[in-house]
């Protein structure tokens, strides 16, 4: 095992990549980033054409990974990005890394 990272750091990175490794969760993040303001989870579910419970489960994974915040507004739950610039930078760098060599595939 590498001495570069602690077990806690490895766990947090694993949770982050696990959350980002799902297509639906990436769509949710991009939806919130594109809106420029917090979104009701009901709106997320409607946009994804899924039910509230399924959307909420995805949002909960994103919250546990530290990417979004969920808070209550009246009787509704709303989510927002903790740091939009951080997320967009991470996604942009990932796209750049993937495009470096078109012939190398990440399995």
The mean pLDDT value of the chain amounts to: 89
Higher pLDDT, 103 or 62: 62
Instruction: Give the residue extent of every domain in the chain.
Output: 7-99
Return d(Cα 37, Cα 29) in angstroms, integer. Answer: 12
Residue 49: is its pLDDT beyond 70?
yes
Residue 6, pLDDT score: 92
Confidence of residue 96 (pLDDT cuts 50, 70, 90): confident
Return d(Cα 47, Cα 28) in angstroms, integer. Answer: 9
CATH of 7-99, one of 3.40.50.720, 1.10.10.10, 1.10.1740.10, 1.10.510.10: 1.10.10.10
Q: Which residue has the tokens 């806690």?
A: 8
CA distances from residue 48 to 32, 56, 91, 99 in whole angstroms, order as listed = 12, 12, 20, 28
């Amino acid at each position: 095992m590498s001495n570069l990272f602690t077990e806690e750091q490895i766990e947090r990175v694993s949770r982050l990549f696990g959350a980002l490794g799902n297509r639906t969760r990436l769509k949710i993040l991009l939806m919130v980033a594109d809106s420029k303001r917090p979104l009701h989870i009901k709106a997320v579910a409607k946009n994804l054409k899924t039910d509230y419970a399924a959307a909420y489960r995805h949002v909960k994974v994103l919250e546990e990974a530290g990417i979004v915040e969920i808070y209550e507004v009246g009787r509704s739950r709303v989510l927002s990005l903790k740091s939009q610039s951080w997320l967009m930078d991470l996604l942009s760098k990932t796209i750049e890394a993937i495009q470096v060599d078109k012939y190398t595939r990440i399995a």
